[in-house]
Amino acid sequence: MPTQNLTWVTDPPVVQLTDFTQVRMAADRIEDAVNDATQIVGGTEGKGLISLDDSQRYSDICEDMRQLALDEKKRVDFEFYCYYVTGIPLVLMSTYCPKFPRLNDGRMSILPKPGLWVEGTVGSPYASGSGILMKEFAVNLSQSKGYNGRVGCAAASAEAEKTWCQMGFRKTGKKYTEKSGGKEHEYPVLFLDPVEIPQYWALMNGRWSFKPKPFTLSGPPHQDSPPQ
């Protein structure tokens, strides 16, 4: 079956979530899908689409999203976005957007050029490929914020690093350090400048498009309220 020019029908294609309840509901639904798809070793539960290790990692990201949205002091520096299909959240993303520039900013200062920092993404294991749409949206969000499509992130796993690099992100050689549970964890920093990778990215009418993508959005991003 041909895979070109398929359209993901979404309602709307993307929504900015503006309060804790919206983020929590989206994270809860995605985490439910993750738990349902988890392979339970020695048992018969779940569909076996993802491993226990991956399931824990996805659950941790969902909890990080909830905690960021819950903390009023931190929340002012972050934005949350979600893709919905028929009212079901498929991918949740948080981005770091400080309202005021900071000296020695732990995220922005390690990027080779100014860009949008993606704090985290998590998606339903039942929606393979939907993460491509969210990453493409991040590039266009960067464009709208004056960064010319440049995006940076820290890869929390080898699998995450692979999916980002498949879209043209490259290792910077730097590490992002995060404290969790009283311990420090280091993650490789990845960076994309779409101008430098024309074989992957094309700018048309002010919007970036990921060329190898086998599907398109049903319409432009919206800032409407999320489905209830």
Distance CA 189, CA 210 (A): 21
In 3D, which of 116, 115, 58, 68 has the Cα closest to residue 90?
58
Domain ranges across the chain: 6-217
Digitized pLDDT (tens) for each residue of the chain, 228 residues in all:
333 444 455 555 788 999 999 999 999 999 998 888 876 544 455 556 677 777 888 888 899 999 999 998 888 889 999 988 878 899 999 999 887 666 566 688 889 999 999 999 998 888 777 788 889 999 999 999 999 999 999 998 888 899 899 999 999 999 988 776 667 888 899 999 999 999 999 999 999 999 887 655 444 444 444 444
Q: What is the dihedral of CA 46, 48, 50, 53, to 10 degrees?
A: 70
Angle made by CA atoms 215, 50, 186, in degrees to the nearest 5? 90
Superfamily (CATH H level) for 6-217: Gcn5-related N-acetyltransferase (GNAT) (3.40.630.30)
